[in-house]
């Protein structure tokens, strides 16, 4: 991968140089739906994908493009496409590559909506998925069939924090000529750059740490450009003739950026999950401080892990940086800067204790998001999974005493004090 | 399209339109370690303007098999034979970098006069330093990465791109990685060894256009300006970018070529 400027510099600058006319230092928000053509020929050349440029904001926009080019630079990818949410990004990738009759191998330990899309929605369109343990490369290999079109996983799984052995999985995918698609939301390019480990496509929920302030929903696809789509029988949507544009073969005409070209020409045209320019601006503001924030997220996480592991009211603590985590060795190898700022822990006293803890803390916010600059908490047993029995939760790999913590950037002693308030309340209950 | 040429699978980009050898044909010649994807934003553009377009992947480059040509003259002979095979007569040659040297030699041997020659980031000589020659043999991937950095102006470093969402570095690296590993070293040696450029340039009798780059670190502007002086009436433009003009300044390049061609009509 070619890089001249370092990560911290690219986080601030990539994708934008002040223009000569206005000198605007910040990336301007091009709040427009469309762009005036200078001539009919120019319009035609954009429609025909003869040259790059903007014709309609559903397809591309200068502010959104600055964000995309920043992400491509940070990940070391050939090209990127930003869209309305992390889920939109995932659906765009799957629908670009797979058609009815195709098969996917995916991690069984992923974010609920990722699982739901593959397990329940895609089968209605004839695309079926086999789920396997993400840290068992052999199982992944065994699950691959002749009609498998991609392998999908989360680098750090949500919420179980399972770590996918990316280099080993990439080797398998490479030998089978199948792209490895990774949801890298929890690691961000600051903690780990999947293309350096052999992955081919990255999807991000920008909503989380990349945006980092809980103010805008967004998603992105970054295309490594390192996958050979040339097998027309296996990947007809990328290398075979497209239904429009004179039967263009994206692989022949755009090579490393074939996937993104395909997604712009089909997904963005026909489904239209575009990102608003204003949200692109907000997300880019977040990325400017990504390296600083991630450093502090990890520092605070390690400090709170120490606190929780040694706390009398805590039954168990789960984080890949702890030696007790089953994937600790993989985490050390592929995430040497730290394995993110989500922590799961069990509180003594079960479901009732979890509920009381959440209701007793003041600083940490009780909500359904992760990756905010502010500390966030949720107790699945009394919220997202409250309809399930303890046994049913266990089957899904969750326990009713579990609290999911997204460690923020506050003074960590204030967070510890806040937690003590919660633990005190639970202690009273347990008595 | 893919043809079997000289016993090897050979890919020829046609800009998304089928080849019509009764029309004027743009033939694009890629640079060292590159392939047809150097001209992404020229191939379709000129094909959709009514020209026939051929952008061959030289042997061992891009989607073409075979062994890489070992000299500029061998490259020119290969192209000459290909144009004959495709029955092309009215040919506008556009070379980028090494492709400009190949164009100089092709001009000497092609049996029909070329319609015009367009030199992009070109010169009559392209000396290559020993460090890069050695690195391209020992570690072509690393050599490619360095060329991608040197080859782009500030837009490379800053991830600025006229094509929304694309990265010059990420794309450039992967384009070079598509070639067979021996191709880059062969190309760089061919460039370095070529010494007939001055004579070949003086022999040109057809209209010429040169588009040079202010911040070109591969074929420096100084060398390009000396080169154009060797030709009579070579229309010359200097763009504010690095060596990879076709992807760094696609719209300006296409428009300069368009107006140059309209003056020839
Ligand atoms: C790992 C992971 N991927 C994807 C998503 C979906 O992101 P979005 O809400 O931006 O659609 C989430 C949301 O929580 C997530 O945690």
- pLDDT tens digits along B82-128: 999 999 999 999 999 999 999 999 999 999 999 999 999 999 999 99
Candidates A2, A51, A65; nearest CB to B41: A51
Cβ distance of A52 and B156 shorter than 8 Å: no
Placement of tokens 């000529």 in the chain: A177
Q: Which residues of B touch A (CB under 8 A)?
A: 11, 13, 16-17, 35, 37, 40-41, 43-45, 48, 62-63, 145-146, 148-149, 154-167, 169-175, 177-178, 250-251, 254
Pocket residue to mutate for ligand 1, from A82, A84, A85, A87, most atoms within 8 A of Cβ: A87
Q: Residue A431 in contact with residue A423, Cβ under 8 Å?
A: no
3-class secondary structure per residue, A111-149 = CHHHHHHHHHHHHHHCCEEEEECCCCHHHHHHHCCCCEE
Nearest 10 degrees: Cα torsion B100, B246, B94, B199: -20
Cβ distance of A72 and B254 shorter than 8 Å: no
CA distance B148 to chain A (A): 7
Identify the DSSP state of A343: E
Cβ distance of B163 and A51 shorter than 8 Å: yes
Whether this model's ipTM surpasses 0.95 comes out as yes
In this prediction, the residues of chain A whose per-residue pLDDT falls under 50 are none
**Residue A395 has what pLDDT?**
72
CA distance B37 to chain A (A): 7
Spell out which residues of chain B touch residue A14, defining contact as CB-CB under 8 Å: 158-159
Annotated domain spans of chain B: 2-262
Spell out which residues of chain A touch residue B157, defining contact as CB-CB under 8 Å: 4-5
Spell out which residues of chain B touch residue A76, defining contact as CB-CB under 8 Å: 169-170
Cβ distance of B164 and A64 shorter than 8 Å: yes
CA distance B70 to chain A (A): 26
Q: CA A204, CA A28: separation in Å to the nearest integer?
A: 23
Nearest 10 degrees: Cα torsion B164, B165, B168, B169: 170
What are the pocket residues of ligand 1 if the criterion is a CB atom closer than 6 Å to any ligand atom? A 85-87, 111, 113-114, 154, 158, 183, 185-186, 205, 207, 217, 219
Candidates A5, A255, A260; nearest CB to B178: A255
**Residue A2 has what pLDDT?**
63
pTM for the structure as a whole: 0.97
Q: Which residues contact A426 (CB under 8 A, 6 or more apart)?
A: A313, A347, A348, A349, A353, A356, A357, A360
Beta carbons within 10 angstroms of residue A337's beta carbon: 12
Element (H or E) spanning A318, and its range? strand A314-318
Annotated domain spans of chain A: 7-286, 290-430
Q: CA A108, CA A1: separation in Å to the nearest integer?
A: 31
**Residue A1 has what pLDDT?**
58
Note the pLDDT tens digit of each residue in B175-197.
Answer: 999 999 999 999 999 999 999 99
Cα–ligand 1 centroid distance for A237 (angstroms): 26
Spell out which residues of chain B touch residue A253, defining contact as CB-CB under 8 Å: 13, 16, 40, 43-44
* Residue of chain B whose alpha carbon sits nearest to that of A2: B145
Candidates A69, A230, A256; nearest CB to B161: A69
Taking CA atoms, B97 is separated from A256, B126, B220, in Å, by: 21, 8, 11
Cβ distance of A253 and B44 shorter than 8 Å: yes
Q: Residue A50 in contact with residue A42, Cβ under 8 Å?
A: no
Q: What fold characterizes domain A7-286? A: 3.40.640
CA atoms within 13 A on the CB side of B56: 27
Atom of ligand 1 nearest to the CA of A87: 11
Spell out which residues of chain B touch residue A80, defining contact as CB-CB under 8 Å: 165, 167
Exposure letters A376-402 (e unless 16+ CB within 10 A, then b):
bbbbbbbeebeebeeeebeeeebbbbb
Report strand pairing: A180-183 vs A128-132: unpaired
Q: What fold characterizes domain A290-430? A: 3.90.1150
Atom of ligand 1 nearest to the CA of A369: 14
Cα–ligand 1 centroid distance for A405 (angstroms): 16
Q: Which CATH code of 3.40.50.1820, 3.40.50.920, 3.40.50.12240, 3.90.1300.10 fits the domain covering B2-262?
A: 3.40.50.1820
CA distance A91 to chain B (A): 19
From first to last of the 265 residues of chain B, give the pLDDT tens digit.
Answer: 999 999 999 999 999 999 999 999 999 999 999 999 999 999 999 999 999 999 999 999 999 999 999 999 999 999 999 999 999 999 999 999 999 999 999 999 999 999 999 999 999 999 999 999 999 999 999 999 999 999 999 999 999 999 999 999 999 999 999 999 999 999 999 999 999 999 999 999 999 999 999 999 999 999 999 999 999 999 999 999 999 999 999 999 999 999 999 999 7
Cα–ligand 1 centroid distance for B181 (angstroms): 40
Spell out which residues of chain A touch residue B177, defining contact as CB-CB under 8 Å: 226
Best interface-test mutation with A: which of B164, B252, B254 has the largest number of A CBs within 10 A? B164
CA distance B258 to chain A (A): 12
Cβ distance of A69 and B48 shorter than 8 Å: no
């Amino acid at each position: 991968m070619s890089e001249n400027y370092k990560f911290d510099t690219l986080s601030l600058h990539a994708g934008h140089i002040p223009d000569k006319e206005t000198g605007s230092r910040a990336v301007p928000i091009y709040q427009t739906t469309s762009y005036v053509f200078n001539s009919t020929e120019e319009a035609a050349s954009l429609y025909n994908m003869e040259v790059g440029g903007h014709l309609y904001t559903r397809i591309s926009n200068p502010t959104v493009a600055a964000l995309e080019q920043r992400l491509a630079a940070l990940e070391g990818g050939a090209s990127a496409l930003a869209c309305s949410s992390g889920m939109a990004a995932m659906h765009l990738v799957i629908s670009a590559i797979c058609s009815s009759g195709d098969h996917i191998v995916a991690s069984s330990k992923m974010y609920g909506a990722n699982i739901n899309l593959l397990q329940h929605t895609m089968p209605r369109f004839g695309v079926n998925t086999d789920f396997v343990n993400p840290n068992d490369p052999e199982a992944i290999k065994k699950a691959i069939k002749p009609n498998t079109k991609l392998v999908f996983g989360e680098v750090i799984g949500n919420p179980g924090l399972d770590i996918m052995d990316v280099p080993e999985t990439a080797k398998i995918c490479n030998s089978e000529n199948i792209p490895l698609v990774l949801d890298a939301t929890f690691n961000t390019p600051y903690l780990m750059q999947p293309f350096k480990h052999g992955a081919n496509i990255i999807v991000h929920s920008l909503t989380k740490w990349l945006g980092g302030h809980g103010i805008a929903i967004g998603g992105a696809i970054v295309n490594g450009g390192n996958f050979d789509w040339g097998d027309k029988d296996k990947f007809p949507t990328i290398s075979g003739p497209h239904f429009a544009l004179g039967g263009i073969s994206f692989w022949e005409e755009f090579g490393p950026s074939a996937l993104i070209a395909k997604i712009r020409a089909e997904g963005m045209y026909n489904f239209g999950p575009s990102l608003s320019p204003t949200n692109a601006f907000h997300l880019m503001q977040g990325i400017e401080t990504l390296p600083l924030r991630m450093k502090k997220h990890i520092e605070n996480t390690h400090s709170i892990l120490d606190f929780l592991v040694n706390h009398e009211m805590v039954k168990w603590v789960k984080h890949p940086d702890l030696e007790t985590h089953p994937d600790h060795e993989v985490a050390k190898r592929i995430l040497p800067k730290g394995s993110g700022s989500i922590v799961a822990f069990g509180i003594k006293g079960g479901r009732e204790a979890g509920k009381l803890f959440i209701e007793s803390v003041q600083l940490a916010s009780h909500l359904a998001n992760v990756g905010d600059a502010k500390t966030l908490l949720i107790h699945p047993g009394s919220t997202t999974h409250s309809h399930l029995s303890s046994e049913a939760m266990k089957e899904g790999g969750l326990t009713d005493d579990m609290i999911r913590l997204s460690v923020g950037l506050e003074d960590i002693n204030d967070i510890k004090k806040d937690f003590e308030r919660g633990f005190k309340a639970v202690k009273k209950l347990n008595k | 399209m893919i043809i079997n040429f000289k016993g090897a699978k050979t890919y020829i980009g046609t800009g998304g339109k089928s080849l019509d050898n009764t029309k004027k044909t743009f033939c694009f010649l890629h640079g060292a370690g590159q392939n047809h994807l150097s001209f992404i934003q020229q191939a379709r553009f000129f094909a959709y303007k009514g020209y026939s377009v051929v952008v061959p992947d030289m042997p061992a480059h891009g989607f073409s098999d075979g062994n890489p040509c070992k000299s500029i003259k061998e490259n020119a002979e290969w192209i000459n034979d290909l144009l004959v095979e495709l029955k092309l007569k009215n040919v506008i040659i556009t070379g980028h970098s090494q492709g400009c040297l190949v164009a100089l030699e092709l001009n000497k041997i092609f049996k029909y006069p070329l319609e015009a020659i367009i030199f992009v980031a070109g010169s009559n000589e392209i000396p290559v330093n020993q460090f890069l020659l050695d690195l391209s043999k020992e570690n072509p991937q690393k050599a490619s990465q360095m060329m991608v950095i040197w080859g782009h102006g500030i837009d490379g470093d800053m991830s600025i791109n006229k094509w929304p969402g694309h990265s010059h570095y990420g794309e450039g690296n992967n384009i070079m990685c598509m070639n067979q590993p021996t191709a880059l070293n062969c190309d760089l040696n061919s460039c370095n060894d070529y010494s007939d450029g001055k004579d070949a340039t003086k022999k040109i009798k057809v209209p010429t256009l040169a588009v040079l780059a202010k911040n070109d670190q591969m074929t420096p502007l100084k060398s390009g300006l000396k080169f154009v002086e060797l030709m009579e009436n070579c229309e010359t433009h200097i763009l504010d970018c690095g060596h990879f003009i076709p992807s760094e300044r696609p719209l300006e390049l296409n428009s300069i070529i368009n107006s140059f061609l309209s003056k020839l009509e």
